[in-house]
Amino acid sequence: MFTLKRGAAALAAAVLVLSALTGIVCGGIPYASAAAAPVIVIDAGHGGIDAGVRGKQSGVKESDINLAIARTLYGKFTDAGFCAVLTRKSQAGLYGLPVKGFKLRDMQKRREIIKDCGADMVISVHQNFYPDGTRRGAQVFFKKGSESGKRLALCVQERLNAMPSAPESAQPLIGDYYMLQCTEAPSVIVECGFLSNAEDERLLLTEEYREDVAYAIFAGAVSYFT
Ligand SMILES: [Zn+2]
């Protein structure tokens, strides 16, 4: 685990140095014209009246866990010199008024952000739920037919599988999701854990674990670029 962390930190440092040399200043300002810094869109799933799934024990909203992990990821990418863009920055959804058709409007807004900022990579953060409460662990999805998406998914899944708490070595899966259809850039959905599993839920409620998950996703994404 230590070597994994150290390796990824070195890669991130390399990106930072590269960015410094080319005078890139993105610093959290979306859509900056700092073309040399890869633009990473971090998408916290759900929001507002769409809570996503709920923790079986605590009732925690998936949307809140997603946002916490997405914000942490944003900080890691920004610190490493990438141009990071959050689709959702607060607990509110992106649909405008909570009336008929809100879910589609929410998804379309996310797609618009991805297009407008010229994303080089999209990472969508979600949590899983399954009736059988024994299933647990992180699962990464990519778009069918996307070689770059598959490669990114493999990089991220590998890091998530290497976490000490990972239950098994999961393989990335093809997913037929709207968010994966928004761009030709490598794009993944990361289901960080199962809110239907007591252990995953307990872990996801801690800031420390969310930090570890965010680091694993970040390190996987960085290894994709190298
Ligand atoms: Zn979700």
Q: What is the 3-state secondary structure (H, E, C) of 135-146?
A: CCCCEEEECCCC
How many angstroms is it from 6 CA to the middle of ligand 1?
31
Residue 5's pLDDT band (cuts 50, 70, 90): very low
For the chain, what is the largest distance between any 2 Cα atoms, rounded to a whole number of angstroms?
51
Domain-located, residue 19 = no
Tell me phi and psi for residue 123, to 5 degrees. Answer: -125, 115
Burial of residue 90 (CB within 10 Å: 0-12, 13-18, 19+) is exposed
pLDDT tops 60 at residue 24: no
- In a domain? residue 65: yes
Q: Tell me if 17 is assigned to some domain.
A: no
Collect residues with CB below 5 Å from ion ligand 1: 45, 52, 126
Asked if residue 169 belongs to a domain, the reply is: yes
- Report CA(63)–ligand 1 centroid distance (Å): 7
Considering the chain, what percentage of its residues have pLDDT values greater than 70? Answer: 85
Looking at residue 20, its pLDDT comes to 43
| CA 27 to centroid of ligand 1, rounded, Å | 28
In a domain, 102, yes or no: yes
**Total count of domains within the chain:** 1
CA 223 – ligand 1 centroid, Å: 25
Residue at 139: amino acid letter? Q
Mean pLDDT over each residue of the chain, to the nearest integer: 89
- The residues pairing with 44 across neighbouring beta strands, listed in sequence order, are 125
| Domain of 130, in residue numbers | 40-225
Q: Distance from the CA of 166 to the center of ligand 1, in angstroms?
A: 20
The Cα–Cα gap between 148 and 152 comes to 6
Residue for token pair 């962390």: 5
How remote is the CA of residue 162 from the centroid of ligand 1, in Å?
23
CATH code at 172? Answer: 3.40.630.40
* Terminal-residue alpha carbon distance, the chain: 19
> Is residue 103 situated within a structural domain?
yes
Whole-number Å distance between alpha carbons of 65 and 129? 13
Query: Residues 120-132: what's their mean pLDDT?
Result: 97
